[in-house]
Structure 1
Amino acid sequence: MSRVGAALRRDVVGGVLLTVAAVVALAWANSPWSHAYETMRTTAFGPAGWHLHLTLNEWAADGLLAVFFFLVGNELKQEFVHGELRHPRRAALPVVAAVAGAVIPALVFAAVNAGRGELSAGWGIPMATDVAFAVAVLAMVGRGLPPALRTFLLTLAVVDDLVAIVVIAVFYAGALSWAPLIAAIGLLAAFGLLQSPRAARMLPARVPGWAVGVPLAVAIWALVHASGVHATIAGAAMGLLMRARAVPGESEDPSHRAERLLRPVTAAVVLPVFALMAAGVSFRTGDLFASTVAIGVILGLVAGKVLGIAGGTWLTVTLTPAELNPDLSWWDILGLAQLAGIGFTVSLLMAELSYPDSERLVDDAKGGVLVGSAVAVVLGTVTLSIRSARYRARPRGAAQPPL
């Protein structure tokens, strides 16, 4: 089992499983058995109380994806404590790139769908970069590329996910129910207190932390879901509250222990199951490219991400004292910006949140996500493969290779 877990922690393996699940969903949804696929997605189960009688698709988007967002929040906490984000000057470039790479695609979508009523509601769809996919592709094509490029991408993706979390929390909340929301905030405070060094020392040795933390996490998730706030926010909030420093007597802090245990589960179960539920778009190519929703998503992911990330990075270097890592070239940043147009996981979630009352618009948006992400994979792979070959061919100790 340890070998399986180690394999599932590899970027490439997670990306492959995600791709396979998406391909299966697409093939199934466009096959003669598409009715069975739709029946599976819409089969509902769960207790009726607290709005927990959900379809399988909703359990994947609201429940399983909360685990993914927990890891996102947890990784962000680690970046603040141990990583690039604890050095503001060093983090300036990927932070600006992430924000610009979220804002510009949203503006591109809004421009394409300006004045089109409900169609403009999907501006958040092309904002997020799928870190699992992007890092997996970089791992596959990046042999020879500077390690600084992966660090830049990870920092960018973490901040990008934070922007997506804020957008979901602020713009995609339903009608709020204050009683469960206040109760959830109270339990979140208790969850945060349990992460303190004092609580770690007070907890009896015979009581494992998960025995307290897991039931508390489930209660927080259920209350947030009942409040009308999207339930994935509960996962992100708990991830941000995780303690990322070990106390005396601990071999590993809770943050890194949770990541070590949950990352294989996320790679093998959470993201593939979500992809299987969300990526089954019935493709009607002619209709898709006639849809301004799909066109807006595609242009946002393919053009908006490049303009935002590469342009934002260039402007920051030009107008401020910030400097690009000397191990990187602007061609590397261009390839990374193209790769960041992979908007799979969060973009598919945003599509469902943007058009809850229109299955056709959801399909158009998801089709745009899949096409835009595929184009981004091709462009980023070509650029970074060329760069990788150049890096491998240069003499040892030589300066930046030209394109």
Structure 2
Amino acid sequence: MTLLQNYHRLPVQFVKAQNTIWEDDHQQQYLDLSSGIGVYNIGARHPEVEAALIDQAQQLWHLPNLYDNALQEKVAEQLGGQNYAAYFANSGAEANEAAIKLARIATKKATIITFKNSFHGRTYAAMAATGQDTIHHGMPMAAGFKYATFNDIQSVEAIIDDNVAAIMFELVQGEGGVIPADQTFIKDLAQLAHQHHILLIIDEVQTGIGRTGTKFAYEQYAIEPDIITSAKSLANGLPVGAMLAKNNIADAFSYGVHGSTFGGNPLVMRSAIATLSVLDTLLPELPDKVKQMWSHLKLLQSLDSVIDIRGLGMIIGIALHPDVPVAEVVEKLLFEEHVITLSAGQNTLRLLPPLTLTPAEMKTGIEKIHHILQQYKND
């Protein structure tokens, strides 16, 4: 055995990818409706990102955070403008760890409220912030977290006390089954946080960088978070995480408080600059593309195997009947049709297609899903 067995891997070797199409070592092509778990938002090997990487690779790969880095300044400006200061890490979990740490230092309080069914990463504090027993199983959890019920404001009110530093949440619980936040709940949550001087941390690791139809999902909820975390698709395939903090709390991360050897290195920053520039050109057409996608999804609504279709923008959850094994659908039946999808939560088929998916590819992908799911009929 050469590798730890902590991943369930399908027996396929992918060797190439271009936009929405992946190719294996037998030259078989697959339609990607997963974006590599929400990473290839602008499609695999986007030519502008590839050109930026090649150019940077011929200059400088690594630069420690001991020196000025104009590339980091550029990405920070593209992400948060002048209202937020950025810290760069290597993953979403690291960005969330930094957010938790900053909130506690800035407020001098210890408790972070998160939500049942949430997912914030697998490093130690991020794992404790995650509201899923399966993630916690067999491990003593870091202290300082309380869990409310998502979309239930009374459950939040019930656990607030004077020691709460922040409320941390996703606007769509992705790993938890693609559960969108209610508009009223988020409005009430923001008001509650304001009343109690509690920071709002929004985990946009999966919902950011255009995934929901806007650069960040919070833009669709009329709120202004204190801290935002981003990762996954930020550099369209290279490992990067970012924490954005409002200027009024950013100074809490003073010299030596936090750091990362590789965070914000030149290669990933050039990739992020190119990714965000491409995203700016895609955003105006995204509303129409989202409408097209959800129009195609209507084909699935009448199937016996489908309980619900939910999501926001291009993060889509197809809740399946309990008798329909989502693992079989994703890993066998759809995979045999050369369609790459994901699962999430309690028996939910999850789609995270690249934002560059064409109308024809949408139609093909949903028709193949329909073909598979119609095989399951209630007795």
Per the shorter chain, which TM-score range?
under 0.3
Q: With CA pairs under 8 Å and 6+ residues apart, which has the higher RCO, 1 or 2? A: 1
| TM-score, with structure 1 as normaliser | 0.26
Larger fraction in strand: 2
